[in-house]
Structure 1
């Protein structure tokens, strides 16, 4: 693939600024222009869109997003070593890139004053990716501030996000994601595409919010799924005892056999249990 802009190749940028990836920050830099451009395209039309990116590092995906036509990119980067490289990208793209030097886990994106359509596109740091996703899909206000999430995870995490009942990967994360979003795994990326190469395959996951999820109290649903999957090998009549209420009446109201295990219950079933709990 030809260069997407006239900025230096990413390997040269990394060498110039001494940006060796830090394991403590969960960094694995993606340098392949074909792949960064493919991720950006996977988010759909970016014209007129503000993109929120977490963990841009040396800016490979950032450049692909801007080259794909995004109106503006707000990048949150904790590693101050990356700021000079990102400043060069901002200058090249006429200030369309704004960098916030903070920890993404400590920032409320709704406080950033972003207007218009917002898409989140990111090669998330491995050590905080799952928590960031949970933060974005468990916001109290729904529909959320974002219109889609296009995220790069370890493939194992991606499988948990899109998992269906009955699969080994199905758990609390899959229930919450499926309750509020339509999600799918788009494609895998092998370790060799990264610097340094991780020990696992990665995958790009795309999520779009469901504007009218099944009515349910978020906090109660989180409580129910935490109890159920916290002891996933046990039947629900045993695993739900930690809720402090007799589980059998709740399960009867929800139309679920007490001998059922958590991995056998679909999203609708968990919503019925949560609503029975709230009514009791």
Structure 2
């Protein structure tokens, strides 16, 4: 352990799990990242965090938490449901007075926009079982976030960044790429975690566009993509029937009815969502 950590009074990261009985729990989607070098690499991906208010979800033993606190951020808020991790993180709170707040709370019920001042970012190794719904919630409020740096199972990362006419292209890719630039910043093998998951993981860096759709247009896009990809093997004239007037809708947007959802670029879904909204279907 380095002198700086000795001075801070922190238990070495590798010893936190044993000290606090933090065996990973499948029900909480836990896979802990205890490699300090990897944590430091992830903390670089959001870019300059000077003056930023950062939200971390599921900090667990606090590896990424410690790495983030090494940056000149304004404040770090960590939301954690596991009481054992709260005890482990108390060391980090004491070592960084006034810079870290740890809340025992369900992240699905935490309103980061209301709780964190701007400019705000999310940097998190997300629990596998809630990663996608958390992301969609943040995408709905993309205008309020400067950047999202999020670790997922690799397949989910591919679903976020996929291009049209590829295996992983679907609803999540359209929603994410419609409001943000999305790129994979780092891939991690199963052995990087304790316990190792069965799959690789990847960190996705999501940077919202300067201009964002209003909430009613986002809702229309959710409806359109849910219909289109809910029956993705069908032609669009069939999969969009639930929206009503599918043939007229497709003709209005200049999209052939025999095309399938995975063939359309994000711009085509944008046109469909705007058409649905214009006719009062949000």
Interval containing the TM-score (normalised by the shorter chain): over 0.9
Cα deviation digits, residues 158-196 of structure 1 (max 9, x gap): 000011111111111100101100110012100001000
Q: 1:44 aligns with which of 40, 44, 47?
A: 47
5+ unaligned residues in a row in structure 1: which ranges? none
Deviation at 1:45, TM superposition (A): 1.1
Matching residue of 2:217: 217
Give the secondary-structure state (helix, strand or coil) at the position aligned to 2:205.
strand
- Partner Cα distance (2:27, 2:3) in 1: 31
Tell me whether 1:193 sits opposite 2:200 in the alignment: no
Contact 2:143–2:212 under 8 Å retained in 1: no
Aligned ranges for residues 56-205 of structure 1 at < 5 Å?
A: 56-112=59-115, 114-139=116-141, 143-144=143-144, 146-205=145-204
Deviates more, 1:30-39 or 1:270-279: 270-279
Cα deviation digits, residues 96-117 of structure 1 (max 9, x gap): 11011000001111231x2232
Contact 1:162–1:174 under 8 Å retained in 2: yes
- Partner Cα distance (1:104, 1:175) in 2: 24
Deviation at 1:4, TM superposition (A): 7.2
Tell me whether 1:23 sits opposite 2:26 in the alignment: yes
Matching residue of 1:279: 278
Give the secondary-structure state (helix, strand or coil) at the position aligned to 1:61.
helix
Per the normalisation by structure 2, the TM-score is 0.93
Q: How many residues are paired up?
A: 275
Contact 1:126–1:154 under 8 Å retained in 2: yes
- Partner Cα distance (2:224, 2:74) in 1: 41
Deviation at 1:119, TM superposition (A): 1.3
- Partner Cα distance (1:8, 1:132) in 2: 31
Contact 2:58–2:127 under 8 Å retained in 1: yes
Per the normalisation by structure 1, the TM-score is 0.94
Cα deviation digits, residues 207-251 of structure 1 (max 9, x gap): 1110214677111111010000000011000111122x1211100
5+ unaligned residues in a row in structure 2: which ranges? none
Contact 1:11–1:31 under 8 Å retained in 2: yes
- Partner Cα distance (1:220, 1:58) in 2: 40
Q: Which runs of 4+ in 1 moved over 6 A?
A: 1-4
Matching residue of 1:208: 207
- Partner Cα distance (1:166, 1:2) in 2: 50
Deviation at 1:68, TM superposition (A): 2.4
Give the secondary-structure state (helix, strand or coil) at the position aligned to 1:137.
helix
